[in-house]
Amino acid sequence: MPSQSKHGLFAQGMETRRAVLGDAHVDGAEASQTEFDAPFQALITEGAWGSVWSRPHWTRRERSMVTIALLAALGHDEELAMHVRATRNTGATEKDLREAMMHVAIYAGVPAANHAIKIIKQTYAEMVKKPAKRKKAK
C-alpha cells in the first residue's frame, strides 16, 4: 500500500469502516465519542481500517473470515458479534464462518470455537429478526 498522510489514512479508514460496519454503527460510535476516547477512535480508524482493512491483496470477505476467527480464538465476544453482523457487507457466508470455526477449534481450542459458535448462532438469529436497512439509491 502506498504511503499515505495521517489525514489520508483516516479518510480511507473511515470509508472502509463505514463500508464494512455500516453507517449506523459508525455514526453511533462517532456520536458517543468523547475527548477521552477520541485518540483511540482515530487510532483504530487509521490503523485497523485505513492501514489493514484497506489493503488491496485480500478481499473484504477474506479479511472478515480471518478477523472473526481471530476474535473467536481470543474470546472477544462483543467484537465477534459486531463482525458477524458486518458479514452483511463483507460477503462472508455462514458456510465461511463454519469453516473458520473449524480452524479455531483445531488451532485455538474446542472451547473457544464452541463459545464463538454460540455467539455466531445468536447473532445470526438476531440478524434474522432485525433485517439490514437498505441504503437509499442515489
Domain boundaries along the sequence of the chain: 1-57, 58-130
6 closest CA partner among 46, 44, 57 = 46
Q: What is the mean pLDDT of residues 121-135?
A: 86
CA distance 98 to 120: 9
With a cut of 50, say whether residue 62 has pLDDT above it.
yes
Per-residue model confidence (pLDDT) at position 89: 97
- Higher-pLDDT residue of 48 and 3 is 48
Environment class of residue 49 by beta-carbon count within 10 Å: exposed (0-12), middle (13-18) or buried (19+)?
Answer: buried
Find out whether 22 and 89 touch, Cβ atoms under 8 Å.
Answer: yes
Architecture of domain 58-130: Up-down Bundle (1.20)
Find out whether 54 and 86 touch, Cβ atoms under 8 Å.
Answer: no
CA distance 73 to 109: 8
The pLDDT-based confidence of 134 (bands split at 50, 70, 90) is low
The pLDDT-based confidence of 137 (bands split at 50, 70, 90) is very low
Coil, helix or strand at residue 42 = helix
- Higher-pLDDT residue of 101 and 136 is 101
Per-residue model confidence (pLDDT) at position 2: 43
